[in-house]
Amino acid sequence: MLKSKLFARHEPASGGAHAAALTIQKTGNSVIFGHIHRIQEYQSVMLDGRCHRGITPGWLGDQKHQVFDYVKGHHQWSLGFSIVTVLPDQSWYCQTVHIIVVKGVYRCVFGNKVYTN
């Protein structure tokens, strides 16, 4: 991703309740991915000092829409997204933005500013 050592893909390399951790264990790389519609981040430092992170930033959608009526576990889905910044030295930083719904209003905070729908 942008010449960094962060890989981006749709699906995790491994699923389950700990998909972020299992994905970096299986790939041996830092990976940001979607597909599971939950917010997770896991970090693992290897014996040689390399640090890997598995990140899944949630999803952008409306689980109350009738198209999702067939999905039994969508109440566990998390609304959110990530902003990844890659510096010229190829290091990268990820900020996950959580979206919270309160009384039908979608809100998130980024850069100390509250955004609503």
Predicted confidence (pLDDT) per residue in 64-105, tens digit? 788 878 877 777 789 999 999 999 999 999 999 999 998 989
Indicate whether 40 pLDDT > 90. Answer: yes
Indicate whether 117 pLDDT > 90. Answer: no
Q: What angle do CA 72, 115, 38 make, to 5 degrees?
A: 25
Rounded to an integer, the average pLDDT of 15-22 is 92
For residues 20 and 54, the answer to whether their CB atoms sit within 8 Å is: yes
* Structure confidence at residue 18 (pLDDT): 94
Indicate whether 41 pLDDT > 90. Answer: yes
By percentage, how much of the chain surpasses pLDDT 70?
99
For residues 22 and 12, the answer to whether their CB atoms sit within 8 Å is: yes
